[in-house]
Amino acid sequence: MDKLDRFGLLFRKLYYIFLPLRFLPFYIGNLIDILQILLTRHKLLLLLFITSLIPFLGTAQEVSVSGPTDSLTVGTLFNFSLTLNNKSEYDKIIFPDSSIFNDDLEFISRKQFRLPNFSDSTSYSLQFFANKDIIIPPLPVKLIEGADTTLFFTEAFPLFFKTVLSSENDELNSLKPNFNFSLVLWPWILGALLLSALAYFLYQKFYKDRTPPIQVVREIPEFVSPLVELEQRLEFIKEEHTQSVEKDYKLFYSQLGDAIRAYLENLYAIPALESTTRELARYMDAFGVDLDLIKYTRLILNEADMIKFAKMIPTLDQSWVAYQHAQAFLERARVYDIQRIARLKERFESQFEKAELELDQEDGN
């Protein structure tokens, strides 16, 4: 083969090698367009894709997560699990504690299991309180082997919100037609008002001074202690729950919660009847309520929320345990709130004594 043929063969090889580079700008442009679409319309999917790469970048061991795949409504209870699949024996594993969950997720309980083949798992019982879709971010898991500590990160896990409200696009019912009044009433009303004003003027001018003074009997209402009201309401709830054949647990827990809320509102001036369980707990901490009273309140109201929102059906024994919590709240309040109730009674009686003194001064003048 002469030099010209070898040169032609080399030229053809170089041509076929560099031929795909002619389409490189086209491929890069399409890739940029795809990334722009993901950034503008599918931010959530892109975030999940990126965070899903974190476990593979950090270590060869696998940390898997599992949770609900269906949409969640407010108050729904669900389980969220983490599982570490290790390939050798280890000394200790540290899973995240309850502080990693924000206000959108209420921590209920946690259980940890030791699985075969050097694996370990923990399960969190959580309650959903978000009003939109949220993401559980990558969570840290520590593996201790002798003097070495290895840090793993889980994949981000999405939780989807399902509203129970009616759609904003629902059609409104048509309004009823206005009634047509055939009789014009305003002249009669105006005449009646003028006659009433004239009668009042004549009475004030000629007859008021002739009427004998009326002796007003002033009665000061009796102060009712919030503790007495709470005790009476608990006795009524107990008697009604005992006598009913078909137990209405939703009503029973609602009455228990309202009795506790009314006591806190009357004594501490907390808007307890209008607050959620979480808001009420914050109010009680801010107002310096006794820790035992806060504990019994959370036990009763959390269980009432699960029955109301999560449709949990308790047993008869569970309902009586909740009633015992209410009784324990009452007994603790007798000791802790006695001075506060005394001050409340003093303010209640002083306002009527002041009003009675002012009326006596007016009568003397």
**Higher local confidence (pLDDT), 147 or 360:** 147
CB 307 within 8 A of CB 252: no
Confidence band of 177 (pLDDT split at 50, 70, 90): low
Q: What is the pTM of this model?
A: 0.41
SS3 content of the chain, % helix, strand, coil (to 5): 55, 15, 30
60-159 is classed CATH 2.60.40? yes
Whether the predicted pLDDT of 175 surpasses 80: no
User: Distances from the Cα of 287 to the Cαs of 16, 265, 294, 295, in angstroms?
Assistant: 81, 11, 11, 15
- DSSP 3-state of 77: strand
Predicted local distance difference test score (pLDDT) of residue 174: 56
Per-residue pLDDT of 288-332, as tens digits, reads 899 999 999 999 999 999 998 888 999 999 999 999 999 999 999
Predicted local distance difference test score (pLDDT) of residue 355: 63
Q: Which of 51-60, 134-143, 268-277 has the lowest mean pLDDT?
A: 51-60
Whether the predicted pLDDT of 158 surpasses 80: yes
CB 263 within 8 A of CB 333: yes
User: Distances from the Cα of 280 to the Cαs of 89, 228, 283, 294, 301, in angstroms?
Assistant: 47, 22, 5, 9, 10
Per-residue pLDDT of 327-338, as tens digits, reads 999 999 999 999
Q: Where are the domains of the chain?
A: 60-159, 226-345
Backbone angles phi, psi at 125, to 5 degrees: -95, 115
Structure tokens at 223: 């102060």
To the nearest whole number, what is the mean pLDDT of the chain? 78
